[in-house]
Amino acid sequence: MSWIGRSLPRLEDPSLLKGQGRYVADLARGAAAVKFVRSPLAAGAILGIEKPDDGLVFTADDLVGVKAIRPLLHRPDYVPVSQPVLAKDRVVFCGQAVAVVVADDQGLAEDLAEQVFVDIEPEDAVVDFAQALGEGARAVHPEAPGNVLVEGNIRTPGVDAAFAAAAEVVALELRSGRQTAMPLEARGGVARFDPLAGRVTLYASVQMPHMLRTGIADVLGFPESDLRVVAPDVGGGFGQKMSLFPEYVVLVWLARHLQRDVAWLEDRRENFLAAAHSRDQVFKVRGAFAADGTLLAIDADLKSNVGAFSCYPVTCGVEPLMGLAELPGPYRFSEYAARSRGVTTNTCMMAPYRGVARPMLTLTMERMMDVAARRLGIDPVEIRRRNLIETFPHRSPTGLVYDEGSYGETMELAVKALDLPTFRRRQAEARAAGRYLGAGFSVFSERTGYGTPAYAARGMDIVPGYELVNLAMDPSGFVEARIGASPHGQGLKTSLAQLIADELGVPPTKVRIIAGDTDATPYGWGTFASRSMVIAGGACKIAAGKVAERLKSVAAAMMHVEPETIRLADDLAYAEASNQTLPIGEVARAAYHQSHRFPQAGPGLQEQALYDPAGTFSNACHACIVEVDVETGGVKIERFVVAEDAGILINPMIVDGQIHGGVAQGIANALFEELVYDETGNLLTASLADYLPPTIAEMPSIEIEHLVTYSEATITRAKGVGEGGTIGAPAAVINAIVDALSPFGIDLFEIPATPQRIRDLIRNAERTSHG
């Protein structure tokens, strides 16, 4: 029986449940404590830094020969900016590291950091789009006058004609507040110096260990082999832990300079101030519709606030360029014009966060559909039916190729699950009783598992995408797969073990996945962009298939039959025709220790495999029912339905877990979480008392339905599923709120839809209707 498709409890869990997980902070024993002194101002010139008389304090002047972080895109419209690892001469955001101190323990390090005084001549901060793009705006970086770091443009030939022919043109301006991934474990690293080898081992809470090693070695100017990076248990990442941060460079520099072990464990305030942020976008979009609701064209002006620096390695192009490329989403219109800009400001750097651009572009397209439906007198579900892509492969106006999916089918499934006719009756009754219920939908595509072609198309200097796997069955019949992906909570080890178990006929408990250690794994790109199951999974399947062939060859020789008659299952090699069996462990031992008997197979059972797919699109429809309290502006989500198609599910329980967590973060984006800067660039929401992730009290029960489309785009026929929840949820929630408040004639184009924002809209609507 196949292991694929089973909700196997995770192999990762027993140690985590017993408190035996090893996160970075658990590996810091004996290391000196490192604390960064951060800029209290968003912009200004550094006039001087006063250090205390005693204690280890370092500033940019001490970092002789250390280069700046300088991520590159090879596009004419990209302006590279350099990020010094400690601020030199000037500061460009509040929270930027200016100095670093080292002391025997955390408390002493914090005492010492307080004695460092940074004298800054403040300058006016550029915080929002109006300040950054206005006439005569101050340049955040001298090399980028105008404050645009990257700009993409596209215009298909028939856009103007489509707008001229339109029965209805819908113009919208949408805003998304600034959010943070907020992994429960903040960033951190422990750098241990080995005086014998002259080598540093950096344990760090990261998603991309190999990339981090490359980045640090380049900036510090030493061979990569002088550094080992290990990502131990990682307490969530969601994208925030996939960039090269200055703190890690400084940590490794300190370990080498002081020749001692040092640990930096970020606190929550630092994580809010200086880890990466996300969202903060304004999308101004016009849609041209025919009278029957057919979407003819989209014309878009997309602005993404990318903060003070460009993130390494993916650069600040990640949000604006994905927004440009993927705005058309699941709809089949062919005329498309867009301008998309990444705008630099005196705020924390933006980096990928679960969903990247797509929560906002899905909100945009799904609001567009609802507004157009209302204006044209068409049901919101019906207008989507008339526009969703149905034939595959589908080529989008930006040239993306969508593999087989079930866009219409997932929507119909969600509509059915919601029982819309019954809901509409209940909604009418509730309204009569002064209660406001609404239903909302969101249909979207989730581009996942894309390899080097997708990144190369963006003009990236560093082109990620492939994965290598080294897989071996040892002489005892146990399997080790060394992967370049770097899971941090997804349960990837369990899912890969199930996949490999099927290929090799052993139970998953005999499969060990080795990840997150540059000394022990092939060069790889880590875990992000919903790629690991698809790409590392594909490489595992290929490598395990190759080892299975070797195993069969040896087993066949041992049983004097043909290799193609051997079947591997239940930890046994079956020679079906002759009704013989051999334990796989026995075959494995022979492969190593009796290799002279099997010259055709060669010794051992190990193989390497590479997988570098073009990518695959998952798809889903989210649907929800909300009740809005019009007195308080509070929103309660009554039901939340996800109809999802991610191809074959390797471990359905783990897939559902990814959807649950994604939806929670999407609901947070829709209703609760917002990082707010004041006009001077000071972050007002730098604690969990001010920034409000949902608790269990705010979360509805999430109902999940699966459809399975067999796509040839991946060799496992599994599609990525890590981000869909976050992508689809905001639009479904906002559409439901607008539906609930339709008696007031209110439209909502800004998230999070906080009680205050909803009350403002209601108050304005009442004033207008009474006035």
Applying CB under 8 A, the residues found at the interface with another protein are 7, 9-10, 12-14, 16-23, 25-26, 29, 105-108, 111, 182-186, 233-236, 238, 267-268, 488-491, 653-654, 656-657, 660-665, 687-689, 693, 695-697, 699, 701-702, 725
Cβ partners under 8 Å of residue 560, min gap 6: none
Task: In angstroms, give the least distance from the CB of 662 to another protein.
Answer: 8
Question: Cis bond leading into 80, ω under 30°?
Answer: no
Task: In angstroms, give the least distance from the CB of 309 to another protein.
Answer: 25
Nearer residue to another protein within complex by CB, 118 or 263: 263
Task: In angstroms, give the least distance from the CB of 271 to another protein.
Answer: 9
Q: How far apart are CA 287 and CA 170, in angstroms?
A: 5
Nearer residue to another protein within complex by CB, 18 or 767: 18
Q: Are strands 467-473 and 606-611 parallel, antiparallel or unpaired?
A: antiparallel
Q: How far apart are CA 331 and CA 554, in angstroms?
A: 52
Q: Which of helix, strand or coil describes residue 412?
A: helix
Q: How far apart are CA 225 and CA 758, in angstroms?
A: 56
Across 212-233, b (16+ Cβ under 10 Å) vs e yields bbbbbbbbbebeeebbbbbbbb
Nearer residue to another protein within complex by CB, 111 or 612: 111
| CA distances to 394, 487, 737 from 357, in Å | 21, 22, 22
Nearer residue to another protein within complex by CB, 34 or 73: 34
Across 493-521, b (16+ Cβ under 10 Å) vs e yields bbbbbbbbbbbbbbebebbebebbbbeeb
Nearer residue to another protein within complex by CB, 601 or 668: 668
Nearer residue to another protein within complex by CB, 112 or 127: 112
Sign of the alpha-carbon dihedral angle for 606, 610, 616, 618? positive
Task: In angstroms, give the least distance from the CB of 240 to another protein.
Answer: 10
Nearer residue to another protein within complex by CB, 26 or 123: 26
Task: In angstroms, give the least distance from the CB of 445 to another protein.
Answer: 22
The angle that helices 652-667 and 724-740 make with each other, rounded to 10 degrees, is 50
Nearer residue to another protein within complex by CB, 120 or 668: 668
User: What own/partner pairs with CB < 8 Å and gap ≥ 24 does 603-607 have?
Assistant: 604/472, 605/472, 605/473, 605/474, 605/547, 605/550, 605/551, 605/554, 606/470, 606/471, 606/472, 606/473, 606/547, 607/470, 607/471, 607/472, 607/543, 607/546, 607/547, 607/550
Nearer residue to another protein within complex by CB, 52 or 657: 657
Nearer residue to another protein within complex by CB, 128 or 266: 266
Nearer residue to another protein within complex by CB, 109 or 311: 109
Nearer residue to another protein within complex by CB, 383 or 635: 635
Task: In angstroms, give the least distance from the CB of 21 to another protein.
Answer: 5
Task: In angstroms, give the least distance from the CB of 495 to another protein.
Answer: 12
Nearer residue to another protein within complex by CB, 61 or 114: 114
- DSSP conformational letter for 620: E
Q: Phi first, then psi: what are they for 769, rounded to 5°? A: -70, -30
Task: In angstroms, give the least distance from the CB of 10 to another protein.
Answer: 7
- Dihedral angle computed from the Cα positions of residues 703, 708, 713 and 714, in that order, rounded to the nearest 10 degrees: 80
Task: In angstroms, give the least distance from the CB of 669 to another protein.
Answer: 13
Helices (H), 642-754: 652-667, 724-740
Q: How far apart are CA 50 and CA 387, in angstroms?
A: 63
The angle that helices 724-740 and 358-376 make with each other, rounded to 10 degrees, is 30
Task: In angstroms, give the least distance from the CB of 16 to another protein.
Answer: 3
Amino acid of residue 210: H
Task: In angstroms, give the least distance from the CB of 294 to another protein.
Answer: 36
Nearer residue to another protein within complex by CB, 11 or 535: 11
Question: Cis bond leading into 613, ω under 30°?
Answer: no
Q: How far apart are CA 226 and CA 205, in angstroms?
A: 20
Task: In angstroms, give the least distance from the CB of 638 to another protein.
Answer: 15
Half-sphere exposure of 755 (CA within 13 A, CB side): 9
Nearer residue to another protein within complex by CB, 188 or 330: 188
Q: Are strands 436-448 and 616-628 parallel, antiparallel or unpaired?
A: antiparallel
Give me the residue label for tokens 């001490």.
Answer: 62
Written as six digits, the tokens of 746 are 């209110």
Q: Phi first, then psi: what are they for 734, rounded to 5°? A: -65, -40
Nearer residue to another protein within complex by CB, 511 or 663: 663
Task: In angstroms, give the least distance from the CB of 438 to another protein.
Answer: 22
Question: Cis bond leading into 393, ω under 30°?
Answer: yes
Amino acid of residue 59: T
Q: For residue 126, is it left (φ>0), alpha (ψ between -120 and 50) or beta?
A: beta
- The distance of Cα 421 from the centroid of its chain, to the nearest Å, equals 36
Nearer residue to another protein within complex by CB, 440 or 662: 662
Do residues 647 and 721 lie in contact, with contact meaning Cβ atoms separated by under 8 Å?
no
Q: Phi first, then psi: what are they for 332, rounded to 5°? A: -100, 15
Q: How far apart are CA 89 and CA 347, in angstroms?
A: 18
